[in-house]
Amino acid sequence: MSKINTRYNALINHESGKSYDISKPQSFCTEDHEPLIAQYDMSQPLNKGILQGRPHTMWRYREMLPLWDDQYIISLGEGFTPVMSMEKLKAKYNFKQLTLKEEGGNPTGSFKARGLGMAVSKANELGIKEFSIPTAGNAGSALSAYCAKGSLKANIFMPKATPKMFQLDCQIMGASVNVVEGNISDSAAAMRAANTDGKWWDVTTLKEPFRLEGKKTMGYEIAEQLNWKLPDVIIYPTGGGTGLIGIWKAFKELKELGWIDELPTRMVAVQTTGCDPIVQAFEAGLHSSTPYEHPAETIANGLRVPHAFGHKLILKTLYESGGCALAVSEDDMKSALSEYATEEGHFLSPEGAAVWHAAKRLKEENWIKHDDHVLLLNTGSGYKYAENLW
Ligand SMILES: Cc1ncc(COP(=O)(O)O)c(C=O)c1O
C-alpha cells in the first residue's frame, strides 16, 4: 500500500476528556479506570473518492486508522466481509430488508481479526514485542495469528470450557496457552497475576485503545457496502462490546466526514439469559452495569462476560441510538442456528444465532417494523464451536 497520512491526533478518556500522550504506549485511564478513545483531525475535508481502487481490506480506511507508518502493518487480509441478503428467512418472517454481515471469513474465522490486527500493528509500531490476553476463544486465535505473522510473542489465558479447537489454534501458531478454571474474568485475573511486572502488553478488550479502531471498520464497511445509506437496525452479540461501540463510533465519524447524511440506526445488544448484565442495566434505565455474579456456561462462549470494561460506552451507544438490549436462551440459540443452516445454508456461530433469534423476537414484538432494513452481525464462523453443538 502506498504511504497515506493518518488523521489520528489524540487519545482521550471518554468521560473526563483527559488527554494522553500518543507517542507512547497507553492502556486506559488509570485515574478513573475508563477506556481511552482515539480521535482524528476532522478540520480538513476528506473525499470518499479516495477509496476507489484501494485493496478490499480494513486498511482501505487508512486515514481514519491510528498507525503512522505503513511498514508496521501486520495484515492477514482482514475485513471487507460480505453483506448477504437472507432471502428465504426474509420472506418467511415478513421482513422487507434483512441482511447479514458475515464475519466468519476473516483470518482465524472471526471479527476479532480486525481488532487484534489493528492493536498488534500499532503496538508493533510502538516497539512492543510480547502480548497477553484473556479470551473466550476467538480473540486468542486472532492474537496468536498476528503475533506469529509479526514474529511477536502471545500469552493466552482461556477458560477451561472454551472449545478445544481454539486452544489448538493458538498452540499451533506458537502462542503460550494457559487454560484457567472459571469464566473469562477468572482468566483475566490469572493473566494479571502472571504479569505483575508488566512484561506483557495487555490487550484485554478496551484496556488498550486500538482493538476498538479495528472493530470500527465494520461500521465503515457497512456504510460503504450499503452505498452510504445505513440500516435502520443493527443487531450485535455483545460480550465486551467493542464491536457495538466501534460500529457506532464509525457512524459518528462518517457523519462528521460528510460521507453519510443521516444516522438512523438503532443499535441492539444481544446477550444470553445466563449472563446478561447489559440487558439488566438497560431495562433498569441505568448508565452503568454491575458485575454478573454467576455467569452460566453457554454455547456462545463469547457472550459469557460477567463485566464489560466498556459497560458505560455500551449503554451510551444503546441510549444514543434509540436501540435496546435483550437476552436469548440456550434453546432459542440452538434452534435459530439450525433454522439458519437449513434455510440459508450457513453455519452461524452461536453468537450469530443469538442475533438471528433476537431479530425474530423484536419483529414479533413490533419493535422492528416491516419497512425497517435490519442488518445482523454474524461475528464468527460456527465451525470452531462444533464440540458445543454435538
Ligand atoms: C463470535 C463472537 N461474537 C461476539 C463476541 C463478543 O464480542 P464483543 O467483545 O465485541 O462484544 C465474541 C467474543 O469473544 C465472539 O467470539
Q: Which atom of ligand 1 is nearest to the CA of 242?
A: 10
Q: Is residue 21 part of a domain?
A: no
Tell me the per-residue pLDDT of 159-188, one tens digit each, with 9 for 90 and over.
999 999 999 999 999 999 999 999 999 999
Containing structural domain, residue 387: 81-390
**How many residues would you count in the chain?**
390
Q: Tell me how far the alpha carbon of residue 304 lies from the centroid of ligand 1, in angstroms.
A: 9
Sign of the Cα pseudo-torsion (48, 50, 54, 57, in order): negative
Q: What is the mean pLDDT of residues 44-52?
A: 96
* C-alpha to C-alpha distance for 325 and 323, rounded to whole angstroms: 7
Contacts for 340-349 with beta carbons within 8 Å, 24 or more apart?
340/89, 343/88, 343/89, 343/92, 344/86, 344/88, 344/89, 346/102, 346/378, 347/381, 347/382, 347/383, 348/378, 348/382, 349/104, 349/110, 349/300, 349/302, 349/378, 349/379, 349/380, 349/381, 349/382, 349/385
- Report yes or no: 97 and 372 within 8 Å, Cβ to Cβ: yes
Determine the straight-line distance between the first and last CA of the chain, rounded to whole angstroms.
44
116 pocket-lining for ligand 1 (C-beta < 6 Å): no
Cell representation of residue 64: 481514519
3 state SS of 16: coil
Q: Is residue 152 part of a domain?
A: yes
Q: Which of 116, 278, 351 to mutate to test ligand 1, by most ligand atoms within 8 A of the CB atom?
A: 351
138 pocket-lining for ligand 1 (C-beta < 6 Å): yes
Cα distances from 51 to residues 55, 62, 64, 167, 180, in angstroms, run: 9, 9, 12, 37, 44
Q: Is residue 112 part of a domain?
A: yes
State the pLDDT at residue 5.
87
- Report yes or no: 202 and 27 within 8 Å, Cβ to Cβ: yes
Q: Which residue's CA is the nearest one to ligand 1's atom 12?
A: 302
Residues 6+ apart with CB under 8 A from 192: 202
Q: What is the mean pLDDT of residues 245-270?
A: 98
Tell me the per-residue pLDDT of 215-226, one tens digit each, with 9 for 90 and over.
999 999 999 999
Q: Tell me how far the alpha carbon of residue 245 lies from the centroid of ligand 1, in angstroms.
A: 12
Q: Is residue 187 part of a domain?
A: yes
Angle of the 217-225 helix axis to the 242-257 helix axis, nearest 10: 60
59 closest CA partner among 142, 140, 2, 141: 2
pLDDT value at 273 more than 50: yes
Q: Tell me how far the alpha carbon of residue 9 lies from the centroid of ligand 1, in angstroms.
A: 28
Q: Is residue 40 part of a domain?
A: no
Domain count, the chain: 1
3 state SS of 27: coil
Q: Tell me how far the alpha carbon of residue 331 lies from the centroid of ligand 1, in angstroms.
A: 19
Amino acid code (one letter) for 278: I
Q: Which of 303, 337, 355 to mutate to test ligand 1, by most ligand atoms within 8 A of the CB atom?
A: 303
3 state SS of 12: strand
Model confidence at 3, in pLDDT bands (50, 70, 90)? low
**The sheet that has 176-180: what strands, in order across it?**
176-180, 153-159, 130-134, 201-202
CATH code at position 102: 3.40.50.1100
Model confidence at 27, in pLDDT bands (50, 70, 90)? very high
Q: Which of 102, 108, 112, 315 to mutate to test ligand 1, by most ligand atoms within 8 A of the CB atom?
A: 112
State the pLDDT at residue 131.
98
Cell representation of residue 372: 425497517
pLDDT value at 40 more than 60: yes
243 pocket-lining for ligand 1 (C-beta < 6 Å): yes
Q: Write a three-state SS string for 232-261.
A: CEEEEECCCCHHHHHHHHHHHHHHHHCCCC
Q: What is the mean pLDDT of residues 45-67?
A: 97
State the pLDDT at residue 2.
46
Give the global pTM: 0.97
- Report yes or no: 201 and 131 within 8 Å, Cβ to Cβ: yes
Q: Is residue 191 part of a domain?
A: yes
109 pocket-lining for ligand 1 (C-beta < 6 Å): no
272 pocket-lining for ligand 1 (C-beta < 6 Å): no
Q: Is residue 22 part of a domain?
A: no
3 state SS of 20: strand
378 pocket-lining for ligand 1 (C-beta < 6 Å): no
- Report yes or no: 329 and 276 within 8 Å, Cβ to Cβ: no
155 pocket-lining for ligand 1 (C-beta < 6 Å): no
Q: Is residue 26 part of a domain?
A: no
Q: Which atom of ligand 1 is nearest to the CA of 350?
A: 1
Q: Which of 101, 103, 110, 248 to mutate to test ligand 1, by most ligand atoms within 8 A of the CB atom?
A: 110
Q: Tell me how far the alpha carbon of residue 249 lies from the centroid of ligand 1, in angstroms.
A: 17
Model confidence at 390, in pLDDT bands (50, 70, 90)? confident
Q: Which residue's CA is the nearest one to ligand 1's atom 9?
A: 240
Q: What is the mean pLDDT of residues 126-144?
A: 98
